[in-house]
Amino acid sequence: MTSRYRVEYALKSHRRDEFIEWIKGLLATPFVLHADDSHADAQIVAENCQARYYEIFKDVESLVKQTIFLDELNELDPKKKSISRLRTLVPSLGKFFTELPLADAFLLEDERRAISKRRLVSPSFNDVRMILNTAQIMALTNIYKQTENNINGISGKNQQQQQQKLKLITFDGDVTLYEDGKSLDENSEVVQRLVKLLSLGLYVGVVTAAGYPRQSGAEKYYERLKGLIDHLNSNHCTLKTYQKENLLVMGAESNYLFRYNNEMKGLKFIDDEEWFLPQVKNWNIGKINYIMDTLYKHLIYLRNNFNLEDSTTIIKKERSVGIIPNSGCRILREQLEEMVLSCSRKLNTILTSSSNFADSTEALCVDDIKVCAFNGGSDVWVDIGDKALGVESLQKYICHDETVDHVCPIGKSESLHIGDQFASLGANDFKARLSACTVWIASPRETVAILDDLIDFIEG
């Protein structure tokens, strides 16, 4: 009963990823036709399945290349509006910022996960997710190594292309760097990997939903990242000052920026004027307050509807509003899903349907303001802004410093976001796909594994 419940729940449309499901469907055919040949040698069957799976990933790899090519043509001439075959097959597909060596990634993951050797369990959602993750890491590190090997003898456009490499890595907090509701401690395996990334000259950012404004908020983020910041402050830390100060924290999706400061031995709050994107600076405070007030009232309605008055608390901040369980209580998973979907629908209404409002100043034409609603696992939040803006803000802020012209500009193909929430609705990492390459993990353990691959590929 439990197993069936989980399967049916996981197949809810808003929790699917169409690209992964489509690839999984392609792999189902060779599995059904060839994986259960009881009259053949097991090794031969495995090799046959591997060859067929490899061919599928090679074909998908070619479709990705074609999609990138047509996207580039469309950017040069928007009137063309050419649609790739892959987008026809998977309409919800986003934009690829790098090619994906899916076939090679499959071989590596097949060696680890023995996908081709399975006779009764077909290639799964998680198998495909991990293959896509590995392919993205391979693509980014291939660019990195090509850059290092082609410093001389290149000019013009080719030089610009060769100078592209991974420069910025951002992370979600809960479930990505540390377990849900926990924090980084000095013994965390993630800490040494983050320190290694900083030592390689990469910028490391934490883009989290947790929002604590002003310098007083630095203490809250220190509590979350204690193990890492304590290491940076320790006598045995070998990082140079500029490498330490390549650590940034973006709070409340895209609302509060902090940067490690070596003199303060901690995080320094960065004033909005130094990093807000132009479109964000133009957002009307009245519009933001209207959105927050409307969603606050909607959460009160939902809380009353589910009889959660005694077991939950609604919190309203400057740029976010959420509902959290009281100590010793919890909100059922189905209730969390209902609330986040209801909030998303409410947002869609007030962001697009100005005719529903009697007062034109309330209608606001608020479609220029970005807002996201997400399920945090035990709570539901609605934030002004989103992680696409958070990542883009980091890309632009870093390049305000004239001393780092050698790494600027930082493009989307030179940025990587690692997170656990990539469902199309109710997940706040999903929007990061608009501003960076992404890796979809399910636990801090997977984060450690993917960072080990990343570091090995860079140094290998």
Binding-site residues for IMP, please? 172, 174, 180, 208, 379, 387
* Active-site residue flag, 41: no
Q: Read off φ and ψ for residue 383, nearest 5 degrees.
A: -120, 140
* Active-site residue flag, 174: yes
Cβ–Cβ < 8 Å for 434, 119 = no
Q: Please state whether beta strands 415-419 and 380-384 pair in parallel, antiparallel, or not at all (unpaired).
A: unpaired
Q: Measuring CA to CA, which residue among 252, 349, 342 is closest to residue 298?
A: 342
DSSP state of 290: H
154: three-class secondary structure by DSSP: coil
DSSP state of 288: H
Point out the catalytic residue in the list 17, 104, 127, 172: 172
Q: Please state whether beta strands 312-316 and 266-270 pair in parallel, antiparallel, or not at all (unpaired).
A: unpaired
Q: Measured between alpha carbons, how far is 129 from 208 in angstroms, rounded to an integer? A: 22
Point out the catalytic residue in the list 104, 127, 174, 429: 174
Helix, strand, coil fractions of the chain, as percent rounded to 5? 55, 10, 35
* Residue ranges of the binding site: 112, 172, 174, 180, 208, 379, 387, 420
Tokens 């983050």: give the residue: 194
Q: Measured between alpha carbons, how far is 111 from 134 in angstroms, rounded to an integer? A: 13
Cβ–Cβ < 8 Å for 97, 67 = no
Distances in whole angstroms, Cα of residue 111 to Cα of each of 115, 116, 130, 141: 8, 9, 12, 20
* Residue ranges of the binding site for Mg(2+): 172, 174, 420
425: three-class secondary structure by DSSP: coil
Instruction: Encode 160-199: b = buried (16+ Cβ within 10 Å), e = exposed.
Output: eebebbbbbbbbbbbbbbbeeeebbeeebebbebbbbbbe
Q: Measured between alpha carbons, how far is 219 from 191 in angstroms, rounded to an integer? A: 19
Q: Measured between alpha carbons, how far is 217 from 213 in angstroms, rounded to an integer? A: 5
Residues labelled catalytic: 172, 174
